[in-house]
Chains A and B, each alone.
Chain A
């Protein structure tokens, strides 16, 4: 196996002496920039390791994602309300803006089971969902309990979890709309869940 006729002697490129089964080897260099990428990667490793493992400047992955999820939670809260506070819901139920928004959502989604009148089975025994206007509740009738039911759902019975779909704000608006059919302080009863 010979190098090309075009004068490798002229170019000063030397072949190594050894021949392996006819295979010869030059001993040329690859570009220095190529070698520098290796050195660069080593330096990057040193810096990266120092920053994370020795200096401890950066938070851990777990802390980062926790912080990010906290930010998400904060955004949710900022655009919404304290869902553990019954009074907040009652106040919302007196606010036309919230109630109207809730009504709109209710009429596009909830009506499938609870009917536009919100009276469900009371209005039509073949309807799927229970009456939401009476004072008898199956899964708790305080505003925060109603919110819990709407947001997390009662999966075994077919009530879906709405918060992942609607977000907290819209779910709360729907609760406000439901509460607008009720009075604060009215007597409520919790029925057995066998309905």
Chain B
């Protein structure tokens, strides 16, 4: 029924062009950095002795650039292009759009400057320092306002599935980002996160996992739902599948974060939720993949010729592979072998190169002719890009799979009836995978060259071309026909009530004991049966309500928020409200001495966590290699936690006093002094740099605010204590034949390394 007045609108496609070009440029930069650091893993000299080019500092730049700059800009381009058309309205504000664009680019530039300087928060994909965090939050809010304002002015009252995914993305990323970036500044450039130890670990991977989910997956799924049927010229395969997989995906994804911490000291119930919800995630993920693929099905013949369809088909396929591998890796026994190895690197690159990169390419090739009103410069270059990219992925992933499995098997190999490690030297396992690291560079390089071909192709296509903005004839939709559901309409309906009942029932069952437990179980089963009965007898009643929900943006958003917030609340609230003394497993670490704290911040600055874990898992090979498994209380005062996620080098949780100071000095000066064949950078700048004693008093003040039991030292006392310890260590180094000034950074770092695993006292005397 047509109610409104007819008018022609012109879309704001300028912002789409801007974001698209930014994505292309940052994509090249991010991948170039990736190839550089992959080269450094083979040739440690490839950092040219420069601190700001060293692996530990550039790896965060690579991940941040690819996630937030490349995919971020691509996502904004896709969202802005499709949303305007799907809701038949021009973007609400040109000013906000421009603010969004330039603000985001400025943030990226700031990141590209601060990360190489070693200014970091030391949490993966959340490294940017607090002033930039604030900027990101502000710009994200600008994006959200611009988006929801546009929704409010829409002339298409019903929301298409792509819009659902965009809504999920915007609110969830805001929630995740803000919670994981809560910190207290110690200076203009440095802060400590407000969570420490296991709490920080949990919050970090709740964020880290769902950054993958809601930054790299849901927006791209939304983009898929618009661009793929457009390019294929086919109807979407299944609407009901869209409904099922959207809601199950956003609800389940949040819970799976703890699978990044399997077999660690993380409490068992959380690990268990991580594993089981990851397994549940398989079906919703594949629902999205299959909806895309079966939509393409009717246009399969186009795969022969159309590069856009090629990229989409392959992208969706890689999404399927990565989301199959994910649940597999979330199984504890598989994880035991694969975690900390290159297998994980293979897994994430199947997603990043295959899914994100290829979906971006498909979208760009589709957009260029439409945004500049001129055919693509060269179809065959685009095809070559596809083949190069696919070859690159093949090389990259097979190299990293082989590497991960080789190293995993070697690290757990034992002899003498399982009593001795077969390869006690970590370096031996590194040597075995060195050739694969080289082949990874080849694969990544091929992929990058394909990407550069695309950039060139786009440049040739748009050079001298006239940018055009899309227009559309629309009927103005009066406000009365949409957004009128109200509170009762939103919540008081069968799907929401039954879901709520089942959730409450199962939580009671999970988290109580005794008779309440039984009550919870009965309530869950009863409400499930009731729900099944209801929908069986009432047939399509849920879809009638859902159609109503679809013309109501705010209720839809509220329900989406509820779906994504529940998992986090249930996992995180108990962990941060519980008395910390209950999370120690009988080992309470002492606080770090001021010098150790300074050393720890250096450890964070240099990004040591990118290659070294501090978490001995509850696994026999780990315990045999590194010592007794880590307990929660050992990292209780760690702001941020440094459990790590990758072992390019060995675990350091118990490295303290294993070697003498001179060993560390020689090793940091040039790791090959000690370990022949090591690929760790030489940290010569630590020998010349001076420890920042002055910052310590404000750092310790913040630590005290966070609950770390430091005595009420005066700044002068802190200074004295730190310098005394530095002198002692320097003296010991001197007796071991290493002359170094006590105030150098290397002394502080050695102080920290030597206390690892030594900061707790057994509560009972052995």
Contact = CB atoms under 8 A, between A and B. Distances in A.
Direct contact of A and B (CB under 8 A): yes
Interface of A: 1, 3-4, 15-16, 18, 20-30, 34-35, 37-38, 41-42, 44-45, 48-49, 52-54, 60-62, 64-65, 68-69, 72, 75-76, 79, 155-156, 164-165, 167-168
Contacts of B280: 38, 41-42, 45
A167 B238 contact: no
A69 B283 contact: no
Interface size grouping (class) on chain B: 35 or more
Contacts of A4: 298
Given A23-B229, A62-B618, A62-B629, A34 B269 contact: no
Contact of B517 (A23, A29, A54): A54
B240 interface: yes
A23 B279 CA distance: 32
Nearest to A16: B239
Nearest to B295: A26
A44 B424 contact: no
A23 B623 contact: no
Contacts of B237: 26, 28
A48 B230 contact: no
B276 A164 contact: no
A62 B268 CA distance: 10
Interface string B238-252: 111110000010000
Contacts of A27: 238-240
Interface of B: 82, 85-86, 88, 156, 158, 160, 226, 229-230, 233-242, 248, 263, 268-269, 271-272, 275-277, 279-280, 282-284, 286-287, 290, 294, 298, 416-421, 424, 510, 513, 517, 585, 618-620, 623-624, 629, 659-660
A122 to B, nearest CB: 27
Contacts of A42: 280
A53 B235 contact: no
A49 B510 contact: yes
Nearest to B620: A68
A78 B292 CA distance: 60
A79 B420 CA distance: 13
A52 to B, nearest CB: 6
A69 B229 contact: no
Can you list the 5 inter-chain pairs with the closest CB atoms, starting with the nearest? A45-B276, A38-B283, A61-B618, A24-B235, A41-B280
Given A30-B290, A48-B272, A155-B660, 11 more contacts: A1-B230, A1-B235, A21-B85, A25-B239, A26-B239, A37-B283, A38-B283, A52-B269, A75-B417, A164-B420, A168-B419
A28 to B, nearest CB: 5
Contact of B236 (A23, A61, A64): A23
Secondary structure at the B interface, as helix, strand, loop or mixed, is: helix
Contacts of A1: 229-230, 233-235
B238 A26 contact: yes
Nearest to A22: B230
B298 A3 contact: yes
A8 B294 CA distance: 15
A121 B453 CA distance: 70
A74 to B, nearest CB: 10
A3 B235 contact: yes
Contacts of A52: 268-269, 272
A23 to B, nearest CB: 5
A44 B239 contact: no
B623 A61 contact: no
A18 B161 CA distance: 12
A65 B279 contact: no
A53 B512 CA distance: 10
A165 B235 CA distance: 66
Contact of B283 (A35, A60, A65, A164): A35
Given A48-B276, A54-B517, A38 B236 contact: no
Given A30-B290, A61-B263, A61-B618, A41 B276 contact: yes
Nearest to B298: A4
A121 to B, nearest CB: 22
A41 B765 CA distance: 45
Contacts of A34: 283, 286-287, 290
Contacts of B229: 1, 23-24
A69 to B, nearest CB: 6
Which of A38, A60, A68, A167 has the most C-beta atoms of chain B within 10 angstroms of its own C-beta? A38
Nearest to B284: A38
Contact of B623 (A25, A54, A69, A156): A69
Given A3-B298, A45-B276, A52-B272, A24 B236 contact: yes
Contacts of A164: 420-421, 424
19 contacts: A20-B86, A21-B85, A21-B86, A24-B229, A26-B235, A26-B239, A27-B240, A29-B241, A38-B284, A41-B279, A48-B272, A53-B269, A54-B517, A61-B268, A61-B618, A68-B620, A75-B419, A155-B659, A167-B419
Which of A18, A61, A164, A165 has the most C-beta atoms of chain B within 10 angstroms of its own C-beta? A61
A23 B160 contact: yes
A44 B513 CA distance: 20
Contact of B418 (A16, A48, A72, A156): A72
Contacts of A64: 618
A1 B226 CA distance: 13
A3 B86 contact: no
Nearest to B619: A65
A27 B85 CA distance: 22
A118 B344 CA distance: 50
